Amino acid sequence: MSLGLIFTYGMTYGGSAVALVNPYVGFLIYVAFAILRPGPGLWYWSVPEGNYSRIVALSLVVGWVARGGGDWRLGRAWAVVLCPVAYLVWNLLAAAQVQLPAVAWEWIEGQAKVILPCVIGITLLDSVRKLKQLAWLILVCHGYVAYDLNMSYFSGFNRLQEIGFGGVDNNCMGIALVTCIGLGIFLGLGTPGVWQKATAGLCIAFMVHAVLFSFSRGAMLGLILVVGLSFVLIPKRAVHYAVLGGGVLVSVYFTGPQVAERFMSSFGGEGKRDESAESRIELWTTCLKVTARHPLTGLGPHHFPVHAHEYGFTVGKEAHTTWLQLAAEIGVPGASFLLAYYLLAIARLWPLTRESYPVPDPWLRHIARMVVAATAGFLFTAQFVTLPGLEAPYFVALLGAGALKLASVPAPGPGEEPAAPAAEGEPS
């Protein structure tokens, strides 16, 4: 029996038992499985198909309800949390009259599997320690996936470019990694331990290299944005700039001519863009036309591929843009709800990134910075790929919502004891 199979079964059944008593453990396992994708992603040669995440999710829900349903005193996180819920509800409205109901309901089910655990998760995030645990989990799981993809690449098979990972293509996986690079930068800078800094550095190295050999232009552009915004957000200390600048130089050094040529093709003018880039422009224009005709509920959830042939594309063609395709499929309100989930998180976290802003715990500043950088990178790169169901950005924004929840607790004044957290739970 392989270690991957032992890990998967142990986390599924052992973790489910623990989740009945401590639902937060179940939530962490659910997040880990969503990233690692045991079976179709990691350890595909030894882990059979199974309902591993579903088993954990059922235990999570039972344990969560039995333990009182978590803490709903969300403070400034309320608006952020309600946005994906409204997005899910709008999907239900848009599915009322569609050509293929089965397609719409399958899509909605997939969205619910990400959004509903996030709603449960925010009620369980009641301490800074739990926020850090979630951040490290997201980073290390993506780092391990990137390590596995690197091993495949160095063995002579670029699995990421050729077949993707766990059911998502190279573009989607590249953007997931870019999103988590933002986490890694600030976890590495913020943690005092040498081995934690080394862990964050290794994860970043594996992820950056995977982004480069994914040959995803959108992910490469997102990487530049995340690193650039991190420069803006990091504390103004020479050592931080030196570390981040050194990482950029190493990345440039390992960028081969094939990667550079692929990246520069993004900036060709009309007549110089490759077929893929030209196709994207046509698809985006079509999405805008469809949205103008159906501004409220669109064509129906995940129905652009169903109608693509009517606009001169092949049947099943995705629009290669999250925001415009969503507007075409579920209308402007529905797309705006999902977009607001990320934009509101950035807007409300931005004050926390400043050293002068009072927070109950200094780590909330690190969380705010990493979420702002990572989410901004995702928002930009999502314009080039259809990936509204990608889990990593949801979980990263959830970190931001958790920081807003805990930051709603007033910071102690001089000589005062720290205020009690918003919920009963572990001390931060």
**Which tens digit of pLDDT belongs to each residue from 314-362?**
989 999 899 999 999 999 999 999 999 999 999 999 999 998 889 999 9
416 found inside a domain: no
Q: In terms of domains, do 80 and 134 share one?
A: yes
User: What single DSSP character describes residue 271?
Assistant: T
Distance CA 98, CA 91 (A): 11
Express each pLDDT in 385-421 by its tens digit: 888 778 999 999 999 999 999 998 664 444 444 444 4
99 found inside a domain: yes
**Sequence-distant (≥ 6) Cβ neighbours of residue 403 within 8 angstroms:** 131, 349, 352, 364, 367, 368, 371
Q: In terms of domains, do 363 and 273 share one?
A: yes
Query: What is the 3-state composition of the chain as percent helix, strand, coil, each rounded to the nearest 5?
Result: 70, 0, 30
Q: In terms of domains, do 131 and 44 share one?
A: no
Residue 394 near residue 372, CB atoms below 8 Å = no
* Residue where a domain terminates, one of 69, 95, 118: 69
Q: What is the pLDDT of residue 276?
A: 61
Q: What is the pLDDT of residue 421?
A: 45
User: What single DSSP character describes residue 351?
Assistant: G
Helical H runs in 22-166? 23-36, 52-66, 78-94, 101-124, 128-154, 159-163
Q: In terms of domains, do 44 and 117 share one?
A: no
Q: In terms of domains, do 177 and 143 share one?
A: yes
Express each pLDDT in 154-182 by its tens digit: 999 999 999 999 888 898 999 999 999 98
Tell the residue number behind the tokens 């995702």, with chain if given: 378
**Sequence-distant (≥ 6) Cβ neighbours of residue 141 within 8 angstroms:** 31, 32, 35, 36
Q: In terms of domains, do 152 and 63 share one?
A: no
Q: In terms of domains, do 293 and 170 share one?
A: yes
Average model confidence (pLDDT) for the chain?
87
Other Cβ atoms within 10 Å of 251 Cβ, number: 18
420 found inside a domain: no
301 found inside a domain: yes
Express each pLDDT in 98-151 by its tens digit: 889 999 999 999 999 999 999 999 999 999 999 999 999 999 999 999 999 999
Average pLDDT over residues 16-25: 96
419 found inside a domain: no
Phi and psi angles of residue 423, each rounded to the nearest 5 degrees, phi first: -145, 155
**Sequence-distant (≥ 6) Cβ neighbours of residue 322 within 8 angstroms:** 382, 383, 385, 386, 387, 388
Q: In terms of domains, do 22 and 94 share one?
A: no
Distance CA 24, CA 109 (A): 23
* Residue where a domain terminates, one of 69, 93, 110: 69
Other Cβ atoms within 10 Å of 83 Cβ, number: 23
Distance CA 289, CA 367 (A): 39
Q: In terms of domains, do 42 and 88 share one?
A: no
As for how many domains the chain has, the answer is: 2
**Sequence-distant (≥ 6) Cβ neighbours of residue 336 within 8 angstroms:** none
Q: What is the pLDDT of residue 167?
A: 87
* Residue where a domain terminates, one of 41, 69, 97: 69
Q: In terms of domains, do 161 and 310 share one?
A: yes
Average pLDDT over residues 56-69: 96
Q: What is the pLDDT of residue 153?
A: 94
Name which of 427, 200, 171 is nearest 321 in CA terms. 171
186 found inside a domain: yes
Q: In terms of domains, do 153 and 233 share one?
A: yes
Q: In terms of domains, do 221 and 370 share one?
A: yes
Instruction: Look at residue 372 and tell me whether its pLDDT is greater than 80.
Output: yes
Give me the domain span that covers residue 222: 76-407
Using pLDDT thresholds of 50, 70 and 90, give the confidence band for residue 222. Answer: confident
424 found inside a domain: no
Three-class secondary structure of residue 168 per DSSP: strand
Tell me the two tokens of residue 209.
């290299």
**∠ CA(329), CA(333), CA(339), 5° rounding?**
90
418 found inside a domain: no
Tell me the two tokens of residue 63.
């344990």
Express each pLDDT in 271-302 by its tens digit: 444 556 668 889 999 999 999 999 999 999 99
Residue 201 amino acid letter: G
Determine whether 18 is exposed, middle or buried from the number of CB atoms within 10 Å of its CB (0-12, 13-18, 19+). Answer: middle
